[in-house]
Structure 1
Amino acid sequence: MLNQTHPTPASLYVFDMDETLIAKDLSVLWHQHLVHDLHLADEAFLAEDEKMMADYYQGAMNLDGYVEFSMQPIKHLSTTEIDAIADTFIETTAARYVYPQAISLLQELHHQGKTCMIISATVTFLVKALAKHLDIEFAEGVNLHQENGFYTGKIFGVPSYQAGKVIRLKQWLESQNGEYMATHFYSDSINDLPLLLEVPNPIVVNGCPKLKEHAVQSGWQQLSWAL
């Protein structure tokens, strides 16, 4: 279990991002933004994205290949430029897809003094941009190699995908010296089953068919959120 030895660790509420906090996959929305608004890629890019996302929903995505594909249209931009574009994208486009129930829950947890985190298989610069918008204190995503102020398109370290989410969260908890204990994890995806099995309170939000089936068998709480 993702517990710490700190005498009185604070509860950490952990959230998946795509189709959990928001009603869309943020990477897909981002790619549409690159094509339709910034004109940095074409429709063939979106068609390939759709094929690769089909693998994700089956739990069979090649994440290294997907990240490299995703970064191709923006590799000529600096990390500073990409971060700025991501912030604008969240405010102008992605924010409209955040579930109202997610906003209410986050506000309630904030009022109670609870600490929240997003952990996602999406690249870190997008995860952090949404976390900032939602006033979520901590955010962990797929980290990218950087060279001379540019992203290379290669994954750095353990990607926060499938069992990698467990590893990354354990690493983060250890870095906090036992201050927190992951008590709740909210997710929609069968890809997150490893982490759902690790926390005392697994909560399924708009679960995919495979995860819904597991939730019923395990007696897990299930939530239905809508825009």
Structure 2
Amino acid sequence: MNMKTPEAATELVVFDMDETLIGNDLTVLWHAFVVSELGLADDRFLAQDKQMMDLYYQGKMDLDAYMAFSLSPLMSLTAEQVDALADRYVSEQAAQYIFPQAKTLLADLRTRNVTCMIISASASFLVKAMGRYLGIPYAEGVDLVVDNGYYTGKIDGIPSYQHGKVIRLQRWLEANDGSYTPIHFYSDSINDLPLLLEVDYPVVVNGCPKLQSEAITRGWPQLRWQL
């Protein structure tokens, strides 16, 4: 996955977000915020979220259905309002779940001027909010159709989920004058196997059982990060 000559290339480190950079799922935490802090949904919403997330961990989630569900309580808010709330939520609540080891690694990468990005299957407004908080300049998530200034529950373009992450990274590389080399990718999820297979240096962080098995078979490094 590279198009530049080695002399012109720049190192790129890509991170999954949920359970990789943070010791939780950002969307699940966001839904709890929507219920407890914003009062826009109730506990039935959280129960349904748990059922749908169980499918995600099995690699069986219907992402279109999940995005429509996730956005359903927010239809009265403009996209601008949602973005502002996402920034508040990350700084006030989600930040406590960022792995200290991730912070240390990011600080080292910044010192060495290594380009970093996040690619996550969470909604882009959440991924970008986490990117802003961590000082990661590039953040790719599931883009949503905006209608008259409001987010809809409809996915816009290729979602950054499973093989879609490969496509999204390829398109990002093309838009940024080719690829970088080497490319590293840190992830916990079997859903990210397609991208892990594409990069130069795959790294498993707190891998799910299926991904741990793949890592052992393929000789990939495994890290155990803790809060």
**What corresponds to 1:101 in structure 2?**
101
Single out whichever of 174-183 and 101-110 deviates more from structure 2. 174-183
TM-score normalised by length of structure 1 = 0.98
How do 1:1-227 and structure 2 match up within 5 A? Answer: 2-6=1-5, 7-178=7-178, 180-181=180-181, 183-227=183-227
The CA deviation at 1:180 is: 2.6
Contact 1:11-1:180 within 8 A present in 2 as well = yes
Question: Which structure 1 residue ranges, 5 or more long, are not aligned?
Answer: none
Cα-to-partner distance string for 1:170-194 (whole Å, 9 max, x where unaligned): 0000011126336100000000000
The CA deviation at 1:8 is: 1.4
In the TM superposition, structure 1's runs of 4+ consecutive aligned residues that sit over 3 Å from their partners are none
**Structure 2: distance between partners of 1:75 and 1:109:** 38
Aligned length: 226
**Structure 2: distance between partners of 1:206 and 1:39:** 33
**Structure 1: distance between partners of 2:114 and 2:89:** 28
CA RMSD of aligned residues (A): 0.9
**Structure 2: distance between partners of 1:177 and 1:109:** 21
TM-score normalised by length of structure 2 = 0.98
**Structure 1: distance between partners of 2:182 and 2:2:** 7
Contact 1:15-1:21 within 8 A present in 2 as well = yes
Contact 2:4-2:180 within 8 A present in 1 as well = no
The CA deviation at 1:156 is: 0.2
Question: Which structure 2 residue ranges, 5 or more long, are not aligned?
Answer: none
Identical-residue share of aligned pairs (%): 56
The secondary structure found in structure 1 opposite 2:169 is: helix
The secondary structure found in structure 1 opposite 2:77 is: coil
